[in-house]
Amino acid sequence: MNSIKFIINLFIIIFPLFAFADEKIFKNKNTELSVFTGMFDFSDNGKRSTLIGFQHQNENLNRNTFLGNLSPITGFLITADNAGYIYTGIQAQYRMGVINLTPSFTPGLYHEGDGKDLGHLVEFKSELQISLDLSKTSELGFSYNHISNASLGDKNPGANSYMFNFFKNF
């Protein structure tokens, strides 16, 4: 229970730093940072856990392709059970007015800590996110992801998670 309180307090402290950062001091606005929190493996009653995470996107590396606007992303998450996942991969972004649809695929390294054993060090995260533009430099969103090792290990239970996301461009 102390881990949950720690994660909530950390989110309460960090969120205002992103939400109310002075936009005038950032001239290029080419970096997007995201902070998110939610429920890791909500579909497993025995191993569900709260999570918090951060993600970075450098918009200088965006490319418009026939698949949409693609960009590399890097991030990490940690659960209240001390499980962690660090990742890097690619996302596509589809803007529909003030609504954004963002699918992503990110291979990464998973450490189970006191959390769920996902069966292997190497795991793959597929995610779908929907967000709403709050201003030219910030978004609020909701995402769902599935983490799995694609049967690299002897077992592959996977984990389904949902998160609430806040994005800020700097």
Structural domains of the chain sorted by starting position, each given as residue range(s) with its CATH number in brackets: 2-15+31-169 (2.40.160.20)
**Mean predicted confidence (pLDDT) in 73-89:** 95
Alpha helices in the chain (DSSP H): 2-19
Query: Given a cut of 60, is residue 24 above it in pLDDT?
Result: no
Query: Given a cut of 60, is residue 159 above it in pLDDT?
Result: yes
For residues 81 and 75, what is the distance between their CA atoms, to the nearest angstrom?
18
- Band (31; pLDDT cuts 50, 70, 90): confident
**Mean predicted confidence (pLDDT) in 15-29:** 50
- Band (104; pLDDT cuts 50, 70, 90): very high
Bridge partners (DSSP) of residue 135 are 138
* pLDDT of 112: 94
Q: Which tokens sit at 92?
A: 């596509």
- Band (45; pLDDT cuts 50, 70, 90): confident
Count of C-beta atoms within a 10 Å radius of residue 76: 16
- Band (11; pLDDT cuts 50, 70, 90): low
Q: pLDDT by residue (tens digit) across 139-158?
A: 999 999 999 999 998 999 99
For residues 51 and 118, what is the distance between their CA atoms, to the nearest angstrom?
16
Query: Given a cut of 70, is residue 21 above it in pLDDT?
Result: no
Q: Which tokens sit at 156?
A: 């592959």
- Band (130; pLDDT cuts 50, 70, 90): very high
**Greatest mean pLDDT range, 26-35, 54-63, 137-146:** 137-146
Q: How far is CA 83 from CA 38, 110, 112, 116, 159, in A?
A: 14, 7, 4, 8, 12
- Band (66; pLDDT cuts 50, 70, 90): confident
